[in-house]
Amino acid sequence: MKIATYNVNGLRSAISKGFLDWLTAANPDVICLQEIKSEASQLNLDDFKSRGYEPYLFSAQKKGYSGVAILTKIKADFVSVGMNHPEYDCEGRNIRADFGDITVLSTYFPSGTTGDIRQDFKMKFLADFQKYADELRKERPNLIICGDYNICHRAIDIHNPVSNAKSSGFLPEEREWMEQFLNSGYTDSFRHLNKEPKHYTWWSFRAGSREKNLGWRIDYVCIANELEARLKHAFILPEAKHSDHCPMMIELA
């Protein structure tokens, strides 16, 4: 089972840059998308269905903003949207699909880069998401949480940890949350199998950051520890350039 995650920074924009051809070539069984910035009525869903994918979208109420999706070649047993938190659900931040004993989430964690109000919103989201995930795991222990977490966990995950020490996405309280989240029963799939530095999933559009590989690793597929023995591969795909992010993918036995 191949599961991918990709913040597309506008699904219509990504499609215009060749996303669909990439999707066909990469051929994940399930792909979780974030920041789709689209509603179903604005897309040709047959673009996905003709490639074997059933699309499930959860759009933000605000047009052209946020939103998540799951595209799947495997028939889902159950799909639900939201976290039963109106303040997050109106922004289209979480969608869930169950496949047998596995549950996959596509989640778009808030960014705090626009100021204190959104940083406070982000920290509240992190606390509430932890509670949501804790409750879900009681029912569905084999949980896979794909998404743009908007957090670099450790210094190895960011190109310049010193100059970014006070930047949203690498703040001590965010990194502390990520640490305790993983310690609550999850494995960072990529870092579990790849210990080398300079692997990133997001680059600023400024100053040729991507060409210089001056990036941040903020996109994750975190798997419940119960699934760790089934994890065969976890890799980042920086050659996919339909967004300021790139996808990552895991393969489970």
pLDDT in single tens digits along all 253 residues of the chain: 999 999 999 999 999 999 999 999 999 999 999 999 999 999 999 999 999 999 999 999 999 999 999 999 999 999 999 999 999 999 999 999 999 999 999 999 999 999 999 999 999 999 999 999 999 999 999 999 999 999 999 999 999 999 999 999 999 999 999 999 999 999 999 999 999 999 999 999 998 999 999 999 999 999 999 999 999 999 999 999 999 999 999 999 9
Verify whether residue 89 is a known catalytic residue.
no
* pLDDT tens digit sequence for 11-65: 999 999 999 999 999 999 999 999 999 999 999 999 999 999 999 999 999 999 9
Catalytic residue among 46, 89, 148, 244: 148
Domains of the chain, by residue range, sit at 2-252
- Among 41, 33, 30, which Cα is nearest to 10's? 33
Q: Residue written as tokens 């999706």? A: 69
Yes or no: say if 70 and 104 are a contact pair by the CB < 8 Å rule.
Answer: yes
- Please report the pLDDT score of residue 183 as a whole number: 98
> CB-based contacts of 124: which residues, under 8 Å, 6+ apart?
none
Report the CATH number of the 2-252 domain.
3.60.10.10
- Please report the pLDDT score of residue 12 as a whole number: 98
Q: Burial, 139: exposed, middle or buried (Cβ in 10 Å; 0-12, 13-18, 19+)?
A: exposed
